[in-house]
Every structure is written in structure tokens, then in C-alpha cells.
Amino acid sequence: MPEAARLHARIVRVDRAPVFVTSRPEKAREASRLGFTLECVPLDLAEPQALDPLTVVDAKARAAFQQLQRPVIVEDSGLEVHAWRRFPGALIKWLEKTAGVESLARMLDPFGQRGATATCAVAYFDGSRLTAARGESAGSIAPAPRGTGGFGWDCVFIPDGSSLTFAEMSDEEKDRVSHRRRAWENLADGLPEVFGERRPSS
């Protein structure tokens, strides 16, 4: 299958189709571009203070189901900085809010290495079964923010094999190598009874 292929999914054989619980419309748009078009429900969910987004989506999925009483899908992402031993991970959203992504780029200047791994976790929960999947994209942190596309810390993350940040890439370029794409694909692979057969399309 060509690396550039997009994977399309369809919801099959469930009593109630899952809803994607997110307050970030950007995440819903990216999921839809990847072929995962779901009803979106914005909920303000409490999140555990954890580095690994898998820990976060476990708690969020259970909390979302408790409120909605129907199958849910939730997502969380993180940015593991190698020089900081995986920090901030899923706590990156708090670093963005308090210091900004510009500060993140500058804080790495004294360390002599800028390696990082973008991570994403997606979880499905139907009240009894929780299935979670993780996706990663290796890369580095740019010396300063670049680009106007994407959202969050896309403007400082450069995936391996590219000189562009996610925010400088087209949607197709980003989706080809993104941590989010890999997480959603891995979730669909683990839930054939929910997502059915996925078909590649250019």
C-alpha cells in the first residue's frame, strides 16, 4: 500500500455508533481527513496529570461514557522531548498555555539536542470494553515556530525526513507521517467489529 494512501473507515454492526468526544474541532477535522468521520460531542473532561497520553485517554474515555452512556472515542496527544526524558509528554498542553510554544523551542537551546517524538493515543469505550491505540512520529523541535497551518505545537515539530514543521506542510503531507494517523489506524485495526474493513484510496 502506498505510504501516501489514506485509509477510510466505516462504522459497522454496533447497537449505537460511537461518538468522538473532543472540544478541539481541529482534531475532528484531521480524523475526518483520515476517513474517520464521526459525530462529535464537545465535553469538558478532567484529565489526569500524566506524561503518557494512553493514561489520559483511559480516564477520559471512562468519564465520557459515564456522562453520555453510549460508546465513545477520545483522543490525546503528547510531545516527548528526548533531552528532557520524555517531558512534557501529554502535559504539553499545559506548557503551551503557560509558556507558549516559542518558549519550548528556546528552552532547548542549551541542551545541544532537539530530538522529540510526537505521540497520539485514541481510545474506544462502550461501557465494558476499552480499546486504546498509540501512534508515534519521530522528529525534532525547530529553533523557532514556523508555519501557519495545523494547531497546537505543529509549528515547532519537524518530522524525520522533512525540513518542514507540521504547520508548514499541506494537509496531505502531514497526514502521511503524523502520529495521529498512526493512532487512528491502529485503533481501527484493533476494532474490526466497529470500523469494518478499511480501504486505501489515493
How far is the first Cα of the chain from the last one, in angstroms, to the nearest whole number? 10
| Contacts for 155 with CB less than 8 Å, ≥ 6 apart | 101, 142, 145, 146, 147, 148, 165, 166, 167
Please state the length of the chain: 202
Residue 47 confidence (pLDDT): 86
Verdict on whether the full-model pTM lies above 0.75? yes
Residue 196 confidence (pLDDT): 77
Residue 188 confidence (pLDDT): 95
CATH node for 6-195: 3.90.950.10
Cell 494517523, residue? 181
Please tell me the distance from the alpha carbon of residue 190 to that of residue 184, in angstroms, as a whole number: 10
- Closest alpha carbon to 142 in 177, 170, 167: 167
Residue 44 confidence (pLDDT): 86
Which regions of the chain are under pLDDT 50? Answer: 1-14, 199-202
